[in-house]
Chains A and B, each alone.
Chain A
Amino acid sequence: MSDGYAILKLDDLGRYPSPLHDGSVLLPLRRTLGFTAFGANCWTADVGGQIVPRHEEDSGNEELYVVVRGRVRFLVGDEELDAPAGTLVHVPSQTTRQAFAEEPGSIVLAVGGTVGEPFTVWDWEAVVVAFSAAEQGRLDEAREVVHEGIEARPGFWGHPYNLACLEARYGDPDEAYSYLARALALSEDDVRALAATDTDLDSLRDDPRFKELFG
């Protein structure tokens, strides 16, 4: 970014296979450019793979999908669509949607926002990028991403909790306990509820420190 604008090739975006989205690969456009007025990210996948994760928009977002390259098969509600490059698909918030790549190099751009509300940057982007980077062995990048979240929203329990999960799965268990304690201090009920069944923390459960934290 220089002088208030940036030029970007979608092919230059980082590729983050999402551990949360069954193989869909996130190309984090919004996070890379830093815009905040609307949501917009790109997704890609191997041929036959899920390119748009199956979901509804619980946040209330309406979304527009644009097939930028390749060919995609959309499932929206109970309808199916063969969508070559240049296809636009508009989906209201509570409709289930999913898509699969039909050609190599397919890219779908997803644009979203909530009617009547300012756009909110959701933390899922950082979670996907961090855990995907860690899965690919780039733990420092993963830590940096979550730390950015902590700095941006220091009172939010989710970021230290995610960092605890990250350290438990890929990094330093001592750090994991430290961040779990921090998350508990910010929102004990949320953290207890999530930690009870979160497999990211399985490597910690037999340690006395885990029992000390959760009783």
Chain B
Amino acid sequence: MNTAHIDDLDRIEMDDGFVWRPIRRRFGIRAFGVNAYSPREAGSQVVEEHTEATYGHEEIYLVLRGRALFTVDGNEHELGPGELVYLRDPQLRRGAVGLTDDTVVLAIGGKPGVAHQPSAWEWMFASLPAGRAGDWGEAIRISEEGLADQPDNPGLLYNLACWESQGGRSLDALLHLQRAVALDERFRGYAATDTDFDPIRSEPGFPTV
């Protein structure tokens, strides 16, 4: 049986203080988005502040355990187990702080009227532990897995280029970064200050601002 307990899910800590607990990726779910989140500790972010403007998703955040203080469009709502916030409007800014160490929030999302496509950030997040450990090969493998799913996603190309740059694959890094910039000019600016690219910054063809 394909099963897991929320306490058995991977824990991938993010810089904002929230911990991603991958569910969709663990089970290989393709029809909808679903993940869980925990705070690093009581008082840390449990749902990162964001909108769904990029993906157009409607979302549900259900508190499975503990307590969380949600801020939605500037309004605060403290929720406990069995309580949820549903966001129909993707433009609304949302985020939450975990009020107890053991807080777990389940997030479900999708875009109405279209077949679900996994969000590219999942591969970016998933490659972080390997990248932090300097296991460039594994970080690159996970990023390439994302690109196989979404070949023209500039964020995935950029992320892959970051790992390749640090892993000594300079030519691959340059090519993927150039392609990311060609698809979305904003990545030219990001690369200008991203220290991940220091190893290849002086290479001919590095995108300049």
Bound together: yes
| A interface residues with partner B (beta carbon < 8 Å) | 1, 3-11, 33-38, 40, 61-62, 64, 66, 68-69, 74, 76-77, 79, 81, 83-91, 107, 109, 111-119
A84 contacts across to B, CB distance below 8 A: 5
Q: B27 contacts A90, CB within 8 Å?
A: yes
Q: A90 contacts B3, CB within 8 Å?
A: yes
Q: B65 contacts A86, CB within 8 Å?
A: yes
Known: A7-B77, A77-B1, A86-B65. A37 touches B58 (CB 8 A): yes
Q: How far is the CA of A88 from the CA of B8 in the complex (A)?
A: 10
Interface size grouping (class) on chain B: 35 or more
Query: In whole Å, how far is B105's beta carbon from the nearest beta carbon of chain A?
Result: 12
Q: B84 contacts A10, CB within 8 Å?
A: yes
Residue B32 CB within 8 A of the other chain: yes
Q: A38 contacts B79, CB within 8 Å?
A: no
Residues of B20-38 at the interface with A, using a CB-CB cut-off of 8 Å, are 23, 27, 29-32, 34
Residue B40 CB within 8 A of the other chain: no
B73 in complex: contacting residue of A5, A38, A88, CB < 8 Å: A5
- Label chain A's interface by main secondary structure: strand
| 1/0 contact string of B42-58 vs chain A (CB within 8 Å) | 00000000000000011
Known: A4-B92, A111-B34. A119 touches B6 (CB 8 A): no
Q: How far is the CA of A152 from the CA of B71 in the complex (A)?
A: 34
Query: In whole Å, how far is B204's beta carbon from the nearest beta carbon of chain A?
Result: 42
Residue B69 CB within 8 A of the other chain: no
Most chain A beta-carbon neighbours within 10 Å: one of B3, B31, B85: B31
Most chain B beta-carbon neighbours within 10 Å: one of A5, A61, A107, A117: A5
List 12 A-B pairs, Cβ < 8 Å: A3-B92, A4-B92, A6-B86, A8-B84, A35-B58, A38-B32, A74-B3, A87-B4, A88-B6, A112-B32, A118-B115, A119-B32
Residue B72 CB within 8 A of the other chain: yes
Query: In whole Å, how far is A17's beta carbon from the nearest beta carbon of chain B?
Result: 20
A68 contacts across to B, CB distance below 8 A: 62, 64, 81-82
Q: A62 contacts B108, CB within 8 Å?
A: no
Query: In whole Å, how far is A212's beta carbon from the nearest beta carbon of chain B?
Result: 43
B72 in complex: contacting residue of A5, A64, A85, A86, CB < 8 Å: A5
Q: A7 contacts B79, CB within 8 Å?
A: yes
Going nearest first, the 3 A-B pairs with the smallest beta carbon separation are A4-B89, A113-B31, A37-B110
A90 contacts across to B, CB distance below 8 A: 2-3, 27, 29
Q: How far is the CA of A118 from the CA of B2 in the complex (A)?
A: 24
Q: A35 contacts B31, CB within 8 Å?
A: no
Known: A3-B73, A64-B34, A86-B104. A116 touches B115 (CB 8 A): yes
A7 in complex: contacting residue of B29, B65, B84, CB < 8 Å: B84
